[in-house]
Structure 1
Amino acid sequence: MNIVNKVTVRHLKENKRRSLVTIIGVIISVAMITAVATLGVSFLDLLIREDIDRNGEWHVEYQAANTQQLQAIEQDANTEQLIVTKDGFADLENPTTDSKHYLYFRQFEAQGMEHFPLALTEGRLPENANEVVISETVNNNSEEAYEIGDSLTAGVGERMHSLEDRKLSEFDSLQFGEGDTINEEIVNVTEQTFDIVGIIEQPGWETSWLPVVSVIGLTDTTNAAADETFNGYVVASKVNTDLFDDAKAFAKEQGIPSVDFNSDLLRYYGATQNNNLRATLFSLAGIIMGIVVIGSVALIYNAFAISVSERARHLGMLASVGATKRQKRNSVFFEGAIIGAISIPLGILAGIGGIWLTFQFINAFLQDALNVEQQLEVVVTPMMLVVAIGVSALTILISTYMPAQKASKISAIDAIRQTQDIKLTGKAVKTSKWVRKLFGLEAEIGLKNLKRNRKRYLATVFSLVISIVLFLSVTYFTNNLKTSLKMTQSDLQYDIQLYGGELDEESFAQYENLPEVTEAGFIRQAQVEIMVAQDGLPDVLNEQVERGEILLEDDKLRYYASVYAMDQENFEQYTEQVGVDALSFGQETPRAIVIDEVVYQNGITGTINETKTIKAEAGETLELLGSSISETGQEIEPEVLANVEIAALTDQVPTGVSTAYPGGVDLVVPMDALDELGFIAEETSPVITLSTNDPMKTEAEILEMDEAGVSIMNVFQQRQQQEQLILLMSVFTYGFITLISLISVANIFNTISTSIQLRKREFAMLRSVGMTPKGFDKMIRYESLFYGVKALVYGLPISFASMLAMHFALGQTFSYGFAVPWGSVAFVIVVIFLIVGAAMLYSIAKIKNDNIIESLKQENA
């Protein structure tokens, strides 16, 4: 180690406080980068494990492939593992419900079962082709009570649509024709007998509204016939966006009829076929990483910039004893290297340790509140560590290089006297006369102090601005992320839906009184048409009219409209929610509530949009028309059914209502309005929705009632998965906000306390010339005010620009209006003054009782 570096090390040791504060600043910065990256990677890892636990681990499915094609799939360069299955269907003997018709046989090759969620409740998994396990739903939906050791004989074949000559899968609902006619059948039947060796929980692919219950067995391609086909599920060795095109091209080359993808799982890996979604993900990732990196750079640079004057004085002393410019620069680089060598490893450990500690608290919440079986695990990737180390090292280099370059160009005397930092010209420290008039002498002195050492002042303001931008940008990002997620989820606020059959008010009362039911709703739906003038069309339809994509009839567009008639109790609750009087309905003129704002997915671009369905005002009248198409398919003049007054327009959707797309509109009326509107109850579609304390038990009770023609949709499981995802996202987003907030507060305290420590001699001088403790406190309060105002003047516009950039990025996939989070803005305005004031007062309290003479003499802080 040369003499200059030895002097640098001694200087760091002598200036312990400054060195420690600089190290802490770098540690906080590195910890922020590491923590944010770890949080994001670990959250994606949880989503991946949750999806695999629910739907199995596979990426590509090649359907109806023969044995030669399976061999080609297995030998493909991007196939890490091939899972072969064979599907079949058989009639369910003696079903207890009309909603379940088939046994769905899913037969795996031996190793394939490891990649799909098969949870045993009794027995063991099959070990040969003559053994099967059954889903617990088999016994729940059949009069046959199967036990382990029993034999199961069934005619297994293919499920075909009897009119359209196409194969049906386990995900197809029952194909009905006129009345109760079922337009499907089992063909190519082979009689088979199996031994039942176990019972499993209901698999994730088996939902209550599909007509199948599952039987799991083994298959073997070794002795398969040449024309026998299987499904090949591939675990890819490389998962990226090219996977979609490569798999399709491979299937075409090998003559494989169709290919499918595990889209949800691939999306968590960052692979998607939706170009708009891909652009959104990359844009958002770039923006948020840019904000985090800029914040980290600011933290590190600020940690060095706040003590530039101290380093300049040290370099001036080196120059006075003959140090060259190169030696001075190398001295500063060496100081940065020492601080980086200490701070970067500690920062990485602090970031990972902080996330690990956070996950310990979150995991208990995930299991108790969200019923999520998987736990958050700390995932650290080499790339993440390389980025954290690289950004931190580069920032330290920049932060040390700039002051070293400047210090190397000034004379030794100026560096020792620090005349380059302290500006005493009248112009430099000039303040407005209004400052003294409005706030007093103490405020003027405080402002002059800030102007006197402008670098230190700007470094503190810069730190505050970065904190404001970080908090508001991340808050906007997380809030819009949740909004975008909710737009993709179906808004089903009930547990069970009943439809079809002879549902009426009498049967509604019967279902409503089931023991576990907490809320029930009865709706009758009717379809009508209305004609909407062009000035009443939303922008999305007017654009299509201008492009000639849709045609008007006498300057009007024919809308399809759904009329939803609600039972009286639920209708009164809905009118209260919307803000209209329920008693105003049922008068001479029929009235309806119009749902005029909906979310829909554009079928061409794939974007998810929020739009008005109609431009209208309360009090206007809509003319309801019958169908313009006759039963024979001929176009006819539609009958005028009724004129309906718009009682209110709302975006609130009542339970059981499915909102329209652009070109359609939904009207909500009370049940007794059906007669006024010219509808016959028997011509409407009845729907009953139930919310229960135990959806599975309630479903079983409804099945026991065995109402003819009534279909059951248990949406509890589907909604539970959606709610888990939204709540998981909430945990992630609020954790992200909390993390950024804590880092910002730590940064502000670190910056201000360091600044105050370096001004000990200045404060001692003010006290020595007679400034009272009361005046001193007043000066500090006004300095806090100046810091806060200056930070907000710069921070808020930059934050708004960042929000607009994020809104533009989200607009590639999700279309909704830009809204400033004024609540967060107000919060940050209040908090910035509180934090600055608290940091200033805390720092002053630590030096308040220092001896004036010793502080004036002090060289090192």
Structure 2
Amino acid sequence: MNIMNKITLKSLIKNKTRTIVTIIGVILSAAMITAVTAFTSSIQQYIVNYSIAKIGDWHIMFGLNNSEAYNEIIKDRRVAEISLVKEGYYAYLTGGINQYKPYLYLMELDKKALDTLPLYLIEGRLPENGDEVLISEHVLSNGGVEYKIGDQIELKLGLRYLDGYVLNQYNPITFEDEGEKEELKITGTRKFTVVGICKRLPYELEGYSAPGYSIITRLDETNITFEENERISVYLKLKNPRKVYDFENDISKKYNIESVIYNDDVLRYMGISNIDRFNKVLYGLASIVMVLIMVGSVSLIYNSFSISVSERRKHFGLLSSVGATRKQLINSVLYEALVIGSIGIPLGIGSGILGIGVTLYLLRDNFIRMFGERYPVELSLSVSVASVIVAALVSIITILISAYIPARRAKKISPMDAVRQTMDIKLTAKKVKTSALTRKIFGIEGDIALKNLKRNRKRYRSTVFSLFISVLLFISTSAFSMYLTKGVENVYEDYNYDISYTIYKNDVLSQNHLLAFENICNLDGIEDGSIIRNSFWNAALSKDQVEPSFYSRMLEYGYNDGDDVEINIIVYSVDHNTFVDYISVLGLNKEKFLNSDEITAVAVDKQHYFSKDEGRYINSNIFKKHDETTITVYDYSKIDYNESDTSQVDNLNGATIVIGAFADTVPIGVSEYSPVNSILLIVDDEVIKNTESSVKNLPWYNVFYMYFKADKPAEVIEDIKKILTDAGLDTTDIFNIAEQVEDNRNIITILNVFAYGFIVLMSLITIANVFNTISTNINLRRREFAMIKSVGITNSGFNKMLNYECIFYGLKALLYGIPASICVTYLIYLSMTEGVDIRFFIPVKSIFISIFSVFLVVFVSMMYSMRKIRRENILDTLKNENI
């Protein structure tokens, strides 16, 4: 160890208070950085684990019908794990009550697939051989057939055919009146013993329109054969998941495989996506977050080292006078940084991990209540090696940058100036001159306060910079969190109801249905309900009626400039009470919309869809003006597009509908958005029935839907079934939609937890930064304050002077901080628009909070710092040359 390093260590030991304060700053910074990386790592791993529990631990699935491709895949060195599922055979479900799901669907799983795919037992065990079977509870809850453990069942298995083609689970049931009726050709019989009951498979494996209830048996993986019309689904987990798209491309091209499914959710949350724009959003936002953390940390630690160097200027001057070079002085400061970093960074990383671990542990019960017990996944601390390395590297770089800047400034000071401490008093009258207006507005105290700030420009700028960074970090972090949440909410479809009940076309909306609906709405757990039927029509709009961007897009689809453009009309006919409540909430005239002489509708002109051309989600409007207008609707389904006769549209019978108002909200059961090139019309079903308008002659689907909003859907659904049963109605078509959308809502909730946690962490950095800067600057100005007191300023005047300084600090910081924050917010917005079409907005609430917080933190820091100084003796303070 050279002499300069020894002197540096002795200086650190001698100035224990300053050393401890600096180490605490490093610990806090490293802890914050680690907290963010560890929290991100934990949340990401939790979402990945949740997706695995929901869909299965696999990356890609190939549907194979030949042994050549199968043999190459299982021998491929890129593959880590292989799970095999033999599927395709159906059997009639004897006694089933759901006409849209008349089959049992046999899936044979090998030993690995039983662990890989999401099978959750309700009772019993998994099958151990091909003579045992696992039954889905959906067979009872939806199909009305009960199987018990130990039951012996004999199934006549076969394949579904339609017009010579073999059908699978992705093909819904086909009825005779919809065309050619499908046929089940029996190929053999198998006997099974029921050994377990499991939860329904996720919709990724058994879609909601799937015609068969999944039942599971064991596959003999030693005897894999590819018989005619049989398929083996091979679920693969790769050694390097990031190569999954290259792997699929190689295999699919070589063997012409068309049936390929990616485990999109798992890959997406692992940070792997084949959509370039998703990666741009991900990396763009990650870069912004890291810059915010770096800026906050550098400003915090920089101030500690800057103050340390300021206090040691006289010491550096003495060393320079006895031969120390400028390089040695810089190395001395950097060595001090490394020593402090070697202590502070490990403690900071440990503190950050511990803090996040405790936080996640305390949040664990909330997550369990939030997610329920659908999937056995716990929120726990998951610190990856990468997150620790990133935290350590960012902390080291931050410390070196923070120490190097003040060290370079210190080396430029001559030894004589450093010893005599004359660096900060090279002033002229012009530099501290204030206007007469300042004294008139703020008085003598305000004038002195402004002169003090001008006299101590470096310290003033340091404090203002800290406040500026605080404002920038808080508003930018809030904007980041808000845009992230808005983006995810925009992508995932949400519903304004929890339970739906479908009355199909073979039924009519009888008095029993209406009575059952009324009784359900009166249940304690039901908050709201509606009855809706819908239809799909068309309309032609002129160029003057539509948005220019929409018209340009239609021209790309083949329309000629100047022609009317065709749009789709989705009509929701809502029960009378719901419609009346709806227009009342909108503040509209009831008489206008309940007049049966003409059909008056409320329109919702909000399209939301994923554009393959742009690779992002789009939000758009069709109408240029949202004023009252009249449109003519047609049923274009009567048109034969294979015919060249252009007069078909002219021969259609249309109906006139008045759009009485446009709205952004919808009744329960109506979608908030429409697909591309579509608008929603909401009308009163009672008016439709009573009208003499030609609208009544247009085709309506004789399918009615009941929608209910419930506080606890899982608990109230049994009461709903009982009411329907007592009314003599079928209960097979009641569906708990809350379960379907729970995953999407949970993802948004996780992001909100992450967002607000991130805001809290960054707020702590900024508060600590401001407090450290102001308190230390006040401590260094003790002689200055003693001088002011010695010339006769009263305590009241002295306090006024400090208050004005606080105000000047805050105003200057906000003057720069708010515009800079808006610029960063715009950069965040640009990153988000790479994947989601959302509008630019400014986090106004966060701006007001930052304005209030800046002045609060400044005044509190000033009051705390002055508490000790007020008790000091003026003469003793003036004699002290070490401050």
TM category (shorter chain) comes to over 0.9
Counterpart residue number, 1:235: 237
Deviations 1:208-256 (A, max 9, x none): 654332211111232233545411100111121x421321222322454
- TM-superposed CA distance for 1:646, in Å, is 2.7
The counterpart of 2:765, out of the listed 743, 754, 757, is: 743
* 2:400 counterpart SS class: helix
Counterpart residue number, 1:84: 84
Is the alpha carbon distance of 1:671 and 1:602 closer, same or farther for their aligned partners in structure 2, counting shifts above 3 Å? same
Counterpart residue number, 1:697: 718
Is the alpha carbon distance of 1:642 and 1:85 closer, same or farther for their aligned partners in structure 2, counting shifts above 3 Å? closer
Counterpart residue number, 1:856: 878
Is the alpha carbon distance of 1:678 and 1:95 closer, same or farther for their aligned partners in structure 2, counting shifts above 3 Å? same
Is the alpha carbon distance of 1:681 and 1:289 closer, same or farther for their aligned partners in structure 2, counting shifts above 3 Å? farther
* 2:51 counterpart SS class: helix
Is the alpha carbon distance of 1:323 and 1:527 closer, same or farther for their aligned partners in structure 2, counting shifts above 3 Å? closer
Q: Mean alpha-carbon deviation: is it higher for 203-212 or for 265-274?
A: 203-212
Is the alpha carbon distance of 1:682 and 1:689 closer, same or farther for their aligned partners in structure 2, counting shifts above 3 Å? farther
The counterpart of 2:811, out of the listed 778, 789, 804, is: 789
Query: Letter of the aligned partner of 1:646 in structure 2?
Result: I
1:417 aligns with 2:433: no
The counterpart of 1:616, out of the listed 611, 625, 628, is: 625
Maintained 8 Å contact 2:516/2:724: no
Deviations 1:360-389 (A, max 9, x none): 221121122442652322222222222222
- TM-superposed CA distance for 1:269, in Å, is 0.7
Structure 2 matches for 1:281-680, cutoff 5 A?
Answer: 281-371=282-372, 373-494=376-497, 495-501=499-505, 502-504=507-509, 506=511, 507-514=513-520, 517-545=526-554, 548-552=556-560, 555-587=563-595, 588-627=597-636, 629-630=638-639, 635-639=648-652, 641-658=654-671, 659-674=673-688, 675-680=691-696
Is the alpha carbon distance of 1:183 and 1:111 closer, same or farther for their aligned partners in structure 2, counting shifts above 3 Å? same
Maintained 8 Å contact 2:314/2:419: yes
- TM-superposed CA distance for 1:608, in Å, is 0.8
Partner Cα distance (1:108, 1:628) in 2: 44
Maintained 8 Å contact 1:105/1:216: yes
Is the alpha carbon distance of 1:143 and 1:783 closer, same or farther for their aligned partners in structure 2, counting shifts above 3 Å? closer
Structure 2 matches for 1:9-158, cutoff 5 A?
Answer: 9-87=9-87, 88-142=89-143, 144-158=145-159
Query: Letter of the aligned partner of 2:28 in structure 1?
Result: I
Maintained 8 Å contact 1:521/1:690: yes
- TM-superposed CA distance for 1:534, in Å, is 1.0
1:687 aligns with 2:704: yes
| Structure 2 portions without partners, runs of 5+ | none
Q: Mean alpha-carbon deviation: is it higher for 577-586 or for 747-756?
A: 577-586
Counterpart residue number, 2:173: 174
Query: Letter of the aligned partner of 2:32 in structure 1?
Result: M
Partner Cα distance (1:803, 1:188) in 2: 63
Partner Cα distance (1:294, 1:164) in 2: 67
Structure 2 matches for 1:205-244, cutoff 5 A?
Answer: 205=203, 206=206, 210-227=210-227, 229-240=231-242, 242-244=243-245
- TM-superposed CA distance for 1:356, in Å, is 1.4
Partner Cα distance (1:56, 1:628) in 2: 41
Partner Cα distance (1:499, 1:550) in 2: 39
* 1:37 counterpart SS class: helix
Partner Cα distance (1:620, 1:679) in 2: 16
Is the alpha carbon distance of 1:857 and 1:832 closer, same or farther for their aligned partners in structure 2, counting shifts above 3 Å? same
Query: Letter of the aligned partner of 1:665 in structure 2?
Result: I
Query: Letter of the aligned partner of 1:376 in structure 2?
Result: L
Q: Percent identity, please.
A: 35
- TM-superposed CA distance for 1:570, in Å, is 0.8
Query: Letter of the aligned partner of 2:875 in structure 1?
Result: I
Maintained 8 Å contact 1:84/1:112: yes
Partner Cα distance (1:422, 1:164) in 2: 96
Partner Cα distance (1:167, 1:703) in 2: 34
* 2:241 counterpart SS class: coil
Query: Letter of the aligned partner of 2:172 in structure 1?
Result: S
| Structure 1 portions without partners, runs of 5+ | none
- TM-superposed CA distance for 1:751, in Å, is 1.8
Q: Mean alpha-carbon deviation: is it higher for 405-414 or for 231-240?
A: 405-414
Q: Mean alpha-carbon deviation: is it higher for 242-251 or for 33-42?
A: 242-251
* 2:786 counterpart SS class: helix
- TM-superposed CA distance for 1:200, in Å, is 1.7
Maintained 8 Å contact 1:484/1:814: yes
- TM-superposed CA distance for 1:859, in Å, is 4.5
Partner Cα distance (1:143, 1:402) in 2: 75
Maintained 8 Å contact 1:621/1:646: yes
Is the alpha carbon distance of 1:734 and 1:577 closer, same or farther for their aligned partners in structure 2, counting shifts above 3 Å? farther
Deviations 1:744-763 (A, max 9, x none): 22222122112222222222
* 1:193 counterpart SS class: strand
The counterpart of 1:777, out of the listed 795, 799, 809, is: 799
Maintained 8 Å contact 2:30/2:391: yes
Maintained 8 Å contact 1:628/1:636: no
Partner Cα distance (1:22, 1:746) in 2: 12
Maintained 8 Å contact 1:59/1:266: yes
Q: Mean alpha-carbon deviation: is it higher for 298-307 or for 277-286?
A: 298-307
Maintained 8 Å contact 1:208/1:714: no
Query: Letter of the aligned partner of 2:189 in structure 1?
Result: E
Deviations 1:65-86 (A, max 9, x none): 4444333212212211001111
Is the alpha carbon distance of 1:377 and 1:423 closer, same or farther for their aligned partners in structure 2, counting shifts above 3 Å? farther
Task: Tell me which stretches of 4 or more aligned residues in structure 1 moved more than 6 Å.
Answer: none
* 1:129 counterpart SS class: coil
Q: Mean alpha-carbon deviation: is it higher for 612-621 or for 772-781?
A: 612-621
Partner Cα distance (1:151, 1:829) in 2: 73
Q: CA RMSD in A?
A: 2.6
* 2:62 counterpart SS class: strand
Is the alpha carbon distance of 1:391 and 1:527 closer, same or farther for their aligned partners in structure 2, counting shifts above 3 Å? closer
How many equivalent pairs are there?
856
Counterpart residue number, 2:749: 727
Partner Cα distance (1:727, 1:478) in 2: 12
Q: Mean alpha-carbon deviation: is it higher for 269-278 or for 248-257?
A: 248-257
Partner Cα distance (1:676, 1:436) in 2: 80
Maintained 8 Å contact 2:463/2:773: yes
Please report the TM-score for the alignment, with normalisation by the length of structure 2: 0.91
1:842 aligns with 2:864: yes
- TM-superposed CA distance for 1:504, in Å, is 2.2
Q: Mean alpha-carbon deviation: is it higher for 536-545 or for 343-352?
A: 536-545
Is the alpha carbon distance of 1:172 and 1:431 closer, same or farther for their aligned partners in structure 2, counting shifts above 3 Å? farther
Maintained 8 Å contact 1:607/1:814: yes
Maintained 8 Å contact 2:655/2:695: no
* 2:108 counterpart SS class: strand
Partner Cα distance (1:365, 1:306) in 2: 43
Deviations 1:310-358 (A, max 9, x none): 1322211211233232332222122112211121112112211221121
